[in-house]
Structure 1
């Protein structure tokens, strides 16, 4: 016998379950915009956080992805090629040339200094003696891109970015949004891990990153050496994904074009090729970069970008 009350109750239960699933889906998709709160978690191209192969394997969107050069079919090592002491590569005149493009109305005008950059780089064991010129070009490119041309020292989109953590609990009243030249570094777990590595109280005082240019560079370099540097043998495309996993989701041709142009131009200034291919003129390098990047994006987005622009709009 039909029971109207039971039917309504069942409908409400079904509605609540549906809303629950939708809420979980929306939350998981946020990792493509905000990253995953856990240090060991990967964000997949489908928007879920986790540590399994579904998240950290070939379709890993960002985080500690488990990849090999077989993922791309080529090996364009950004950490190979000519090397030298960091102060001989990034000279005061080169740094001044880069910073000369910072507008007078930029909040971070004059904040990032040559002395702070060199001091921060030399504080890392991996760079105490020599560093690959190609890696330096990639670092400066991503630092400039991450701070909108060194114009900002804090993310314009503020947020608390606090996740429950016994190891790295949030300090009351503090917010863990992006600061420094890599403003994709968010969440208390990242600030906490950086605090231990750098021996700085960044978990208790995250604002310190925006107060000291040396600390700002150190935080960015900590993220670079931990999350990006191990994958430099996969090429510049992979470094782009590891620095900011949102690049795929918000892929705009002009933004990516500017990123590649900055890297190639810095390589020219340093008198090196952008990768191991000696024939690497900008159009060929661009095609390889976008090809690598697209392999890490959802296939639907890849087909839209490559189909519309034909991989030929950079010359």
Structure 2
């Protein structure tokens, strides 16, 4: 039988071709953290799914890699991608008691955290008892380029049912008007101020749901004709708008002058432009004492506590026994938001 002699050079060529045509698992990239349906991903975030790495082209949540245009396929991967045990929370069970802080996986694959103890109420129906929870199996809160201490995912977790008008991008855009907001003092103070601001505006708007004041009967009352500039937009034009429900012609005039916006003649800008709406709320927070003795910003950065911010916004209407239920509602939101940001709420919570 004849033997065929294969030269070493030929063998080398054959193996090289095979390596190109049949890439081995060893050459595949390592799998990133496994994609999580409940996590929020921003542009550039990487997650693995079904043996491939995927890159998010823009903001996404609950859009499966491979079936949504938001994800770009980066090729096959091996190993890793397990997401750890952080996402291994128990399935929700109807009728089972849940203490505050309990985290469950709902039937839709998303996670929820109990913010009030309950006897197993449905998380997607009983929003008073449950909030959406972003599982830590993915890049849930990538840093924002603005340096804001609240990330997109945390903002979404705070306001899962918010009106689409109140965008995170609008808030971040408004920050440039008041660079000291949530950037003064220690990291703890910065997060406490952000939590305090968002808790108060959330309270004022029913969880960032209402853009304008709901009681239309009040609309004509917010015009003070004794001001030299009067009410050029009309008697009933200066009703409450935006995250902190800016009202009265003199407040629209002062806010407009401070922000370089024609709010006295065009108060409707506050309900039409998210960035403008957020700026008016920050203007009040940063510059107005209201019925209190200091601005809400100074209350937080000077250690006076969350209770003093309530006084600056609603004074005796709520404080000193005026409406303890409303005060407690604000405190509850503040404590929950502080927990989301991973910071202690501090003392002096009530007024």
TM-score bracket, shorter-length normalisation = 0.5 to 0.7
Alignment partner, residue 137 of structure 1 = 195
Alignment partner, residue 319 of structure 2 = 248
Q: Does 1:177 align with 2:239?
A: yes
**Deviation at 1:99?**
2.6
The one of 319, 324, 328 equivalent to 1:257 is: 328
Alignment partner, residue 194 of structure 1 = 255
**Deviation at 1:242?**
0.7
Alignment partner, residue 345 of structure 2 = 274
**Deviation at 1:243?**
1.2
Query: Structure 1: which 5+ runs fail to align?
Result: 1-83, 103-108, 276-284, 294-315
**TM-score, scaled to structure 1:** 0.55
Alpha-carbon distance in structure 2 between the residues aligned to 1:242 and 1:127: 16
**Deviation at 1:273?**
1.0
User: CA 1:143–1:247 in 2, change beyond 3 Å: closer, same or farther?
Assistant: same
**Deviation at 1:253?**
3.7
Alignment partner, residue 308 of structure 2 = 238
Bigger helix fraction: 1
Alignment partner, residue 122 of structure 1 = 176
The one of 155, 158, 166 equivalent to 1:98 is: 158
Q: Is the 8 A contact 1:208 1:215 kept in 2?
A: yes
**Deviation at 1:162?**
1.0
Q: Secondary structure at the match of 1:119?
A: helix
Larger RCO, structure (CA 8 Å, separation 6 or more): 1
**Deviation at 1:129?**
5.7
Alignment partner, residue 30 of structure 2 = none
Alpha-carbon distance in structure 2 between the residues aligned to 1:260 and 1:99: 16
**Deviation at 1:172?**
4.4
**TM-score, scaled to structure 2:** 0.50
Q: Is the 8 A contact 2:213 2:241 kept in 1?
A: yes
CA offsets 1:138-177 (integer angstroms, 9 cap, x no match): 0100110111111101011232311134544211425211
Q: Secondary structure at the match of 2:165?
A: coil
Q: Is the 8 A contact 1:95 1:114 kept in 2?
A: yes
Q: Is the 8 A contact 2:154 2:341 kept in 1?
A: no
Alignment partner, residue 214 of structure 1 = 275
User: CA 1:168–1:179 in 2, change beyond 3 Å: closer, same or farther?
Assistant: same
User: CA 1:257–1:222 in 2, change beyond 3 Å: closer, same or farther?
Assistant: same
Q: Is the 8 A contact 1:191 1:203 kept in 2?
A: yes
Q: Is the 8 A contact 1:165 1:189 kept in 2?
A: no
Alpha-carbon distance in structure 2 between the residues aligned to 1:182 and 1:249: 21
Q: Would you say how many aligned residue pairs link Structure 1 and Structure 2? A: 190
Alpha-carbon distance in structure 1 between the residues aligned to 2:201 and 2:323: 19
Alpha-carbon distance in structure 2 between the residues aligned to 1:237 and 1:91: 25
User: CA 1:205–1:172 in 2, change beyond 3 Å: closer, same or farther?
Assistant: closer
**Deviation at 1:86?**
5.8
* Pairwise CA RMSD: 2.4
Q: Secondary structure at the match of 1:255?
A: helix
Q: Which structure is larger by alpha-carbon Rg, 1 or 2?
A: 2
